[in-house]
Amino acid sequence: MVTLVVGKDKDKKSFIVHKNVLCEASLFFKAVCKPEWMKDKTSYIIMPEDEAEVALAKPWGLFAKLYVIGQKYQMPRLQNAAIDAILYHHRSWHFQAGILPWVYENTNQGDNLRKLVFRNARKETDTEHFAFFGDFFCREFLFDMAYASAQKQPR
């Protein structure tokens, strides 16, 4: 067993996880769990930069966070499962514009989650949404919108 200590200060939480399951799912944790990396031979992995709260309050946020955690810790099956969950449930959820800055901040250009979020935002965003949710639209998203619009224009 391994104890993951996630977050810092008052937001810190501990999770006890089976070491073999963790190592099987992630190359990152497989490397971290090697004896030479375990601090003082304790079974603690300290992760102060990660958030103990997994959800961004809505289902889109939960699965987006899982995707980014999978990316960070080299867990492609978790990334795929998160995308699959978003695709499976997206018809019953309204897209949350508030997730845009977080996704753009935590993914790279061309990333599958960013593409999915962009596609959904573009499909569901009209002039009224732009006026109401304007503060949520980060610079990179607006550039992507302008670029996509320019691609649609006849030459």
Q: Where are the beta strands (DSSP E) in the chain?
A: 2-6, 13-17, 44-47
- Cα-flanking dihedrals φ and ψ of residue 74, to 5°? 55, 60
113 in Cβ contact with 64 (< 8 Å)? yes
Tokens encoding 74? 């080299």
What is this structure's pTM? 0.62
pLDDT digits (tens, 9 = 90+) for 25-80: 778 878 888 877 776 556 777 777 766 454 344 567 778 888 998 999 899 999 99
CA dihedral 32, 36, 41, 46 (to 10 degrees): -30
Report pLDDT for 104. 93
CA distance 87 to 63: 10
For residue 154, give the 3-state DSSP assignment: coil
Q: Looking at per-residue confidence, does 117 or 39 come out higher?
A: 117
Residues facing residue 32 across a β-bridge: none
Give CA–CA dist 24/106, Å, rounded: 24
Cβ–Cβ < 8 Å for 62, 102: no
Extents of the domains making up the chain? 1-52, 54-155
Average pLDDT of 84-102? Answer: 76
Please name the residues in contact with 112: beta carbons below 8 A apart, sequence gap of 6 or more: 79, 83
% pLDDT > 90, the chain: 17
pLDDT value at residue 93: 66
Residue 110 has pLDDT above 90, yes or no: yes
Q: Strand pairing partners for 13?
A: 6
- Sign of the Cα torsion 138, 98, 119, 60 reads positive
Average pLDDT of 110-118? 93
Fold topology of 1-52: Potassium Channel Kv1.1; Chain A (3.30.710)
- Higher-scoring residue by pLDDT: 4, 144: 144
